[in-house]
Structure 1
Amino acid sequence: MDDPPRRTLSAAQADALLRWSDGADSNRPQPVPDPTCLYGLIGEVAREGSDRTETNPIAIAGNFIAYLSCAIGRMPYLAVGNTSHHARLFFLHVGRSGRGRKGDAVSLVTRIDEAVRAQRPHLAPQIHRGGLSTREGLATLIHDGYRVGQQEVPAIADKRLWVVESEFANVLQQSRRGGNTLSAALRDCWDGVDLKPATKTNRVHATEPHVCLSAAISPVELLALVQRRDLLNGFVNRFLMIWGERTRIEAFPRRAPQARVEGLATAVMDILEFTRPRAENSRETALMTMTNEARRRYAQLYHAELNQDFGSALVDSVLERRAPMLLRLAMVFALTDRQWLIEARHIEAAMAWINYATYSVGFVLAGGKGSPSQHQVEWAAERISAFLASKGSASRRDLVVDCFGRHQPAAVVDAAIAHLIDTAPATVQVEVQARSRSGPGRPATVYRFVRPREPN
């Protein structure tokens, strides 16, 4: 992508900041994720953490994906051309102060990690909670060994590091300091390349880092602190940016039972035992591959949605890495199924996240252009409900073609489906009908009408 003119990018950023600062954007309909985002174990954790709490399930899911991508480590990789992608992700949760419940979105993930650590500590990654300031400080957390005077500091063998940065504004502020190389170091971490000393006086190295981030920030802080340089140099677009605010008000939110936490931890440990090298501290690798069906679906997306421009210099700069992010998400989803093979269903779940990230970025940075209004969503939801009540069930294509005659954009249809699923009691349930391995096409998602129970 060519660099946008400075005035265009800065003006778009200033306009978005003004809208959030004066409250003009406070009542717009918020992005709604596709239920497909909550795939498998990720969905179980998200639903457990959001049940009778104020925490948004999509925010819990994003943090859990970041944690899991870190704990999985560098053994699995996917070759794309001459580039090897590991399941390594940076997650950025955006929400207004007091409403985002950004700290709560990490709480259940932390409890799951504690349960893993108590039973099989070798499976749990190192965790660093905030306070990143320099490249050297980051490298020191996973260093290869160094000397202090006459003393040798032994190397840290396990290079897995999950950074929980609840105040991402701190990272952006550090980036604004002249000569600070933290953002460059984090770019290297996302790429998986060695962290080398930035100066001759500092000799701290970290080879083969596997660093993943869970970060949080408010929209005003993001727009006020991010620099044009970080928008264009690939720093910000390495983050999967997701909008998430509280879904309800609960004076006494429910605490997940410890037995349930330990059950989820057991599922995590099964995944990590599957993905860890057989020999301790070995450099064993495992090549992940894609089914022909998954390859075809990814190629379709790559030539369409994954390289779509939105006519906004600001939005386009942040969404530049949708394709590699989709592949890394698909890797995580396949590994949660304890398999090295990426199937079409993993691509679809990953694409649901990319779509939601796209809606989120547009909502935060461009005033939500293209985001359906609440009136549109409710109108479409009523029409879908009536259509399903008469038909019993339908695919997404059936809804687009037969229910709306192709006259409604995908964003409206998806938001309306999600609205029907999220509304209590739900009037629509989702079924994924796997196709035979020999048959053509990808797994079909079917939406089925749920008749409300008659009152006693």
Structure 2
Amino acid sequence: MKNNTFSAFELGQQVGYGELSEEAARQSLHDQMQRQNSGENTEQTLLIKQFDSGMISAQKEEQKNPYRNIEVKGWPNATPAMFHGFAGEFAHFATEKSEADPVAVLATFLCRFGVEIGRSSFMLAGDKQHARLNAVLVGQSSKARKGTSARPVKEVFSLPRKEWTCCRFSPGPLSSGEGLVFAVRDPLQEYILNKQKQTGQEMMTDPGVDDKRLFVLDQEFASALSCTRREGNTLSTIVRALFDGDTIEPLTKTSKLTATDPHIGIVTHVTIHELHKKLDATEALNGFANRFLWLCVRRPKLVPFPEEMNSEKLSEYQKRLINILKISQTQARMRFTDNARELWRAQYPSIASDRPALLGSILNRAEAYIRRIALCYALLDEAKAVDEKHLTAAFALWKFNEDSAAFIFGGFETDPVERRIIEALSDADGRMNTTALYKAFGNHLSKERLTIAMNTLSASRKIRIEEIKPEGGGRPRKIFHLCEDCEETNLLQNDLRQ
């Protein structure tokens, strides 16, 4: 009897913890009673009571568990569609006998290629979208072989000067915005006064830099994040402006710097641990995070004796690359083919949808980035327009970027007040007035903080606000509803119920 009681209670707990469905558990209890010939009604009643008690006890315990809704995401999976054309082919070739991640090689190659071809080719999406990309390669650990991925890209772009003038290269580190502007600065004319003759004239005091193409490969993104915390540091602001490609003219006291039509691409490295450590301390991340692709990379295999790339095959890749670069420089505006336009139209609602909090701020350059990536794939195919296959490859890489960002920043992206509002509305069957909402926060949340959260939820179409006017007049009552047609809200509600 004691063993039966304990077994029934434990079975009920499994249901309460969500480890077993109630229907299956009750059937199991019934079968157990049948096998043990528990024919007495009093004994059966006691077992059922113990089952119910165990289930209720576990459910109450789960309600108090702060981790019950934790979302643990798996490592993002790279798909074959990402590795389209020349870039994908080279990424696989470069990593055949090394521990480098093909994703890291692919991203580094695309960023370097986008810088090399300059500003001649572009797509229109409001403003001109040149093939200018930035990427943060986020390693699982210091052994993710992030740096190993840079070597093959550097080698394939070591082209003969007589065939191609390569862009300038900088190993970083990223420290200040003025440093980046200085690297692509315009000539500086100054009025020089001759005090003895009391005359003066305009003279060139700095010849500037003719080639505005610059590829930065920085190994220490954590250091760059620290720099953005310093008072007066302009790195975040300048990176945003460089991504847009506008002429930059920082207002500084000591020197006059101007960079016309800069064309800079950045690849930088960091570990997840370093990034999370800095993320807690830096508010500046939101300022320029959406100008980067965030890509998870790790060592895909162990290679005890790595080998250099086959020199003959590398030479063949270089010859093909030179031809591609020359053709790319002759291209101007690139358009979608009809098939690509249909694909873009079909995917656009999901691309343009709002995302919550931090994750939204990191991914809200989707339209621009997908066009730029597709442009790179098209130019590498020597195409005259961006076709469906190029856009498909760009969508695949962007999906990997989305999955990586969700993995990297999981847990940081949801505002706790907004989530509590959704939870309270879900518990109240999707409808609450202001009094009930105030009580849901234990009467401790300020009106200002609640207003900000409600405005954000309303703007992102997660809730809607209904105003009910009293029959006898007076101030309207506000009723808040969950938006049932909002996919994001439905997913969150389902998560909360689990």
Tell me the TM-score normalised to structure 1 length: 0.69
1:98 and 1:38 map into 2 onto residues whose CA distance is 25
1:46 and 1:355 map into 2 onto residues whose CA distance is 18
1:63 to 101, 104, 108: 108
Structure-2 residue corresponding to 1:120: 163
Structure-2 residue corresponding to 1:427: none
Q: Does the 8 Å CA contact 1:46/1:60 hold for their aligned counterparts? A: yes
Q: Does the 8 Å CA contact 1:362/1:368 hold for their aligned counterparts? A: no
Query: Gapped runs of 5+ residues in structure 2?
Result: 1-65, 193-202, 414-498
Q: Does the 8 Å CA contact 1:231/1:317 hold for their aligned counterparts? A: no
Matched, 1:193 2:238: no
Across the aligned residues of Structure 1 and Structure 2, the Cα RMSD in angstroms comes to 2.5
The one-letter code matched in structure 1 to 2:94 is G
* More off after superposition, 222-231 vs 268-277: 222-231
Structure-2 residue corresponding to 1:257: 310
Matched, 1:100 2:144: yes
The one-letter code matched in structure 2 to 1:241 is W
1:252 CA drift (Å) = 0.9
Matched, 1:230 2:284: yes
Q: Does the 8 Å CA contact 2:135/2:292 hold for their aligned counterparts? A: yes
1:309 and 1:153 map into 2 onto residues whose CA distance is 46
Structure-2 residue corresponding to 1:240: 293
1:140 and 1:120 map into 2 onto residues whose CA distance is 28
Matched, 1:72 2:117: yes
2:248 and 2:240 map into 1 onto residues whose CA distance is 10
Q: How does 1:136-175 map to 2 (within 5 A)?
A: 136-146=178-188, 152-175=205-228
Query: Gapped runs of 5+ residues in structure 1?
Result: 1-14, 278-284, 370-456
1:209 and 1:262 map into 2 onto residues whose CA distance is 30
The one-letter code matched in structure 1 to 2:269 is A
1:199 CA drift (Å) = 1.2
Spell out, residue by residue over 1:209-237, the C-alpha distance to the aligned partner (whole angstroms, 9 max, x if none): 0000111111122222246643443x001
Secondary structure at the aligned position of 1:207 is classed as coil
Spell out, residue by residue over 1:384-442, the C-alpha distance to the aligned partner (whole angstroms, 9 max, x if none): xxxxxxxxxxxxxxxxxxxxxxxxxxxxxxxxxxxxxxxxxxxxxxxxxxxxxxxxxxx
Spell out, residue by residue over 1:150-204, the C-alpha distance to the aligned partner (whole angstroms, 9 max, x if none): 7632132211111101111121111111100011111111000112123143212
Matched, 1:287 2:333: yes
Secondary structure at the aligned position of 1:289 is classed as coil
1:300 and 1:181 map into 2 onto residues whose CA distance is 39
1:61 and 1:79 map into 2 onto residues whose CA distance is 24
1:119 CA drift (Å) = 5.0
Q: Does the 8 Å CA contact 2:142/2:271 hold for their aligned counterparts? A: no
Q: Does the 8 Å CA contact 2:131/2:372 hold for their aligned counterparts? A: yes
Structure-2 residue corresponding to 1:296: 342
1:347 and 1:49 map into 2 onto residues whose CA distance is 24
Structure-2 residue corresponding to 1:177: 230
1:30 and 1:368 map into 2 onto residues whose CA distance is 17
Structure-2 residue corresponding to 1:40: 85
Q: How does 1:280-429 map to 2 (within 5 A)?
A: 286-304=332-350, 306-309=351-354, 312-366=356-410
1:90 to 127, 130, 134: 134
Spell out, residue by residue over 1:347-393, the C-alpha distance to the aligned partner (whole angstroms, 9 max, x if none): 10000001111111111111699xxxxxxxxxxxxxxxxxxxxxxxx
The one-letter code matched in structure 2 to 1:137 is G
For this pair of structures, how many residues does the alignment match? 334
The one-letter code matched in structure 2 to 1:366 is G
Q: Per the alignment, do residues 232 and 91 of structure 1 end up closer, same or farther by CA in structure 2, a change over 3 Å counting? A: closer
Rg comparison, structure with higher value: 2
Secondary structure at the aligned position of 1:194 is classed as coil
1:352 and 1:367 map into 2 onto residues whose CA distance is 24
Q: Does the 8 Å CA contact 1:135/1:198 hold for their aligned counterparts? A: no
1:338 and 1:204 map into 2 onto residues whose CA distance is 37
Secondary structure at the aligned position of 2:264 is classed as strand
Q: Does the 8 Å CA contact 2:245/2:263 hold for their aligned counterparts? A: yes
1:118 and 1:287 map into 2 onto residues whose CA distance is 27
2:319 and 2:217 map into 1 onto residues whose CA distance is 22
Q: Does the 8 Å CA contact 2:247/2:260 hold for their aligned counterparts? A: yes
Q: Per the alignment, do residues 366 and 320 of structure 1 end up closer, same or farther by CA in structure 2, a change over 3 Å counting? A: same
The one-letter code matched in structure 2 to 1:36 is A
Q: Per the alignment, do residues 38 and 65 of structure 1 end up closer, same or farther by CA in structure 2, a change over 3 Å counting? A: same
Identity of aligned residues (%): 29
Q: Does the 8 Å CA contact 1:359/1:368 hold for their aligned counterparts? A: no
The one-letter code matched in structure 2 to 1:193 is D
Q: Per the alignment, do residues 111 and 118 of structure 1 end up closer, same or farther by CA in structure 2, a change over 3 Å counting? A: farther
Secondary structure at the aligned position of 1:342 is classed as coil
Q: Does the 8 Å CA contact 1:145/1:154 hold for their aligned counterparts? A: yes
1:135 to 177, 181, 186: 177
Higher RCO (CA < 8 A, seq sep 6+): 1
Secondary structure at the aligned position of 2:170 is classed as strand
